[in-house]
Structure 1
Amino acid sequence: MALPVTIRSQLPFVEDFSDGTEPAGWTFPSNWQVGSVGYSNHPIGNPPPAAFFYWNPAVTNYSERMKSPTISVDGAQQVKVFFDMELDFYAPGGLEGLAIEYRTGDGSWNEVLSYEIAAGVSVNFSLSTQAFIANVTDSIQLGFRAYGLNSYNINSWDIDNVKVKNIPHLIDVTITSNNQINSGQASVGDLILLTFEGSTALSSTAAIIGVTQVYPINLQNNVWQTSYTVQQDIDDEGPIPFVIMFTDTSNVDGIPVTETTDQTLVLIDNTGPGPFAVDTVVVLGGTVMGPVWNSTNTAIDVTVPLPPDSAVTSFNYTDGNSLTFNDNKSLIIPNSIELRPLSALTVEAWIKPTNYNDWEGFF
C-alpha cells in the first residue's frame, strides 16, 4: 500500500556553523573542515567559526567539493543564495580557485561564481557577502569546490552564513482606468490604477507608470496599489508601460514586473482616428454584378486603409447577427451612458435588400 508523502519547503535555509562542528547532512572532503582559526591566527568566519578549506596537508592537482544537504524548495522556480567568503592567500605559485555551484535533484552541477588566482599572482579576497539566483524545481544542493595545483599556495578559502531564500513574486497584477466609457482606455486627466499582490509580505515597493515614478501604498495584507493621472505632452498614445519593483521582509528583491497577470492594459488615446476612405470592394458568390451586393451574393470583402494610430494595438472581430425589417417595423435602442455622444453621433449600417429587379442593389 502506497502512502501519500508531503514534501514541505525548508526555506529559508540558514547555516552559520556556529556550534563549531560539521553540520548534519554536509559533506566535508579532503581539507574542508569547520573551525575558528586558520593559518597564523587568521580568524575564520563572520563571526567565527565557519567552514574552510585549509592548505594543510598540502594537496596537489586537487578538486574538492564541500556539499550542503539537499534542500527542499517546495515547487519554487527560483531561489536566492547568500554566503560570506574570504581568501587568505599565502604566496604566488600555480593556479588556485574556488567555484560556487548548485544542482537540483540528482542533476549535474552548475557553476555560477568563480574566484581564481592565476599562476604567479598574489591576491587576497577580503571578507564579503556574495549572492546568486538559482533556477530550481523541487530542491537545491550547494557545492563549494576548491581546486588548484598545490594547496600550499593558499592559507584557506573561508565560507560562512550560507542562506537560501525564496524570491518574492507577484501573484496578481492588474491595471485599469477610471474612464467612464472603457476602463481599458484613458485620455488626459483620467486616473490609472495599478494594483498588485505579493506572494509574501513586502517591506518596500516602487513603480513607474509611463515615464513617471509613483509610490504604491499597502491596501491590506500583501495587496498594494498606486495611481497615476494621464498628462498632456508627457504620455505617448498607445499602451502605457509600467514596471513594479519590490522587496520582501527578508530583504530579498523580486524580479521587476512589467506585465499584468490578467492580460489587462490601458491604452492612452487622446486623439480620434484620422480620415479614411474605402479602397477596394470585392463581391463574392452567386451572380457578381460589379461592386453591387445582390441577393445571390454570399460575401463582400471591403479594404479600408487606416491612418497610423499608435492607440490601435489589434483588430478583433467576431461573426455577428443582423436585423431584418419589412413594412414599417422599427427597432428602439434603450438609453445607455455608452451611447451618449459628446459632440457628434455617427450611425453606420450595412444594408442588403432581399428583393431586386435586374440585379439592382444598395450598399
Structure 2
Amino acid sequence: MKRPLRIFVLAGALALAACASSAPPQAIHTGHGGGSPAPPQPLRAGERFLDLAMPEPYAPAAPHGGTDEYRCLLIDPHLTKTAFLTGTRFEPQNVPIVHHAIVFAVPPEAAAAAHHADAETPGQGWTCFGDGSVDDNHPSAWVGTWTPNGTETVLQQDAGFRLPAGSLIVLQIHYNLLALDGKTGATDRSGVRLRLTDGTAATKPLETVPLEAPIELPCTSEESGPLCDRAAAVADVTARFGPGVGHTEAHLVNDCSQGTPVPGNTQHCDNTVPQPMTVYAAMGHMHLLGRSIRIEVNPGTATAQTLLDVPQFNFDDQKLTPLPAPVHLKTGDKVRVTCTHDATLRRLLPQLRTLPPRYVVWGDGTSDEMCLGLLTATVGE
C-alpha cells in the first residue's frame, strides 16, 4: 500500500538497506559514545550562535515500571523577529542516560499550549512519548536530531527552518535509565546551540519529512517467554507508553502491509509524494537492534535513486547526511524506507541482554525498535 508522505509544518511552511549486514555486532553498536565532541563548524556570513540550556536540572523517572522516559523540556529563545535556523548542535550534559534527543520548534500559535503543558505537569517539562507537539492545529517542527557522537550538520544551500518571532524550542530527550543500574537521583541539564541567520528573500524554508515502516521482529529460535507472543508484546508497549504509541504498529501494518503483519528481519514502506519537493539531506533512525537502513525513490523503475544507504548501522553514529546534489521529487513519486533488524544482537548488548526476550514492534523504549527515515527538504517547488 502507498501511504502519503507526512510533513512536519510550522507556520504553514516549516518542519525538517534491504539485506542484513555481515558485519560483526560490535560494528553495529558499541555503547553510548563518550568521546570528545567534534569542534563546532565556524559561522558563515550573516550567521550567529544562540546558546540555550534547560532552565534547571531534571531528574528523569521512567513511568509504568519501565526504564525509558521521553521528556519535553521547554526553552524560550526570546526571538523578537523572524530568523532561519541553519544548524542545531544538541549538547548533552549527562551522556550515560541521554539515549537520543530531538529538537522541535514550537510555532507562536502553539506557545500558550506549550506553556500550559509545562505548567500543569509537576517538575520541569512534561512526559511526551511520540512527538513534541502540543497543539494539533499548529504542530511543532522537527528541526534537529542527536544521538551519541552526533555532530552539527550544516547545509551548503541558502536554506533553513523558519522561526517566526515568539517561537519556542522543545528538547525532547529520551532518557534511558538502564545505565543507573537501579540507582536514583541522576539529573541532566542539557542544552542546544542554534545557528541562526536573518535570511533573505531567496532563503528557502526547510521542512522535515518522516518516513516510517513497521517493526515485526520475532524472538529467535533460541528464545522463549511470554513477550515472544506478538499480542502480549503490543500490550506491553501500550502499557509502558500509552495507546498513542501502542497503536502505532497497527497503523503502520495497515498502511504499509495491507493490514497483515509479516514477521521477519526486514520491513519496508512505500510513501507517495503529495507535492513537488527538493531533498537536501537524509537520515535514518533505529535503536540497538538495527542492522541497515535505506531510503530509495521509485525503486525498481528507470528513475530509481538512492537517497540514503547505511549498510552497517551504528546507533552511536546516526547523522543527517547531505546529498551530493539536491534531488527533486515530483508529485506521485514513491519513496521507500527499508530497515533490517537483528534479534540475535539482544543477547550480545549490555543494554539488552538482561531483559526478557520479546517480539519487537514499534515502540519508544530502548528494548523496542523504530524504522524511521527523515528527509530535509523544501516543499511545493
TM class by smaller structure: under 0.3
Provide TM-score, normalisation by structure 2: 0.24
Which structure shows the bigger proportion of residues in helix conformation? 2
Larger Rg: 1
Higher RCO structure, 1 or 2 (CA under 8 Å, sep 6+): 2
